[in-house]
Amino acid sequence: MIWQISLAVIAVAFVVLVVFLVKTLRSVTDLVAQTNQTIQQVQQQVTVVSQEANELLRHTNEVSLDVRNKLHALDKTFYTIKNVGDVVSEITTSVRQTSATVTNTMRNKVEKELNSPKSIVNRIAPLVPVAVDMWKRLKQSRTTNSKSVAVK
């Protein structure tokens, strides 16, 4: 009889163990199913993101090519501006040299003119009538002042 009870207890324990194993296996099966669904969703999202990334790269390449073409076009403009700047610099240097030459020439002519005796006479001659007129007025004012002092 102990054998029978022992066998019955072992059988019940085995049934309980099997029931718990079945529950665990169902939970694992559900978990694996959910994991599969999640992986499929992630794959779909990765596919969408990958397509968007490819499109973004394509647009970036187009923009990069456009910028490169525009920079090449600007190279000619900057080269032209540099040439214009060089020409303006040369013109400025030439004008500066010409101005210095003209100034020196004029200064030399003026110095020669001022140092010549004829120039001194020509400069003083217009002042002579003014000086004579001032002398007459001064003399006249002295005679008027002496008459008024004598009357007092």
Per-residue pLDDT of 50-88, as tens digits, reads 999 999 999 999 999 999 999 888 888 888 899 999 999
How does residue 119 score in pLDDT terms, banded at 50, 70 and 90? low
Measured from the Cβ of residue 119, the count of other Cβ atoms closer than 10 Å reads 13
How does residue 120 score in pLDDT terms, banded at 50, 70 and 90? low
| Dihedral angle computed from the Cα positions of residues 134, 135, 136 and 139, in that order, rounded to the nearest 10 degrees | 120
Q: What gap in Å lies between CA 33 and CA 76, rounded to an integer?
A: 65
**Where is pLDDT greater, at 110 or 80?**
80
Measured from the Cβ of residue 137, the count of other Cβ atoms closer than 10 Å reads 10
- pTM of the model as a whole: 0.40
50 Rama sector, left if φ>0, alpha if ψ -120 to 50, beta otherwise: alpha
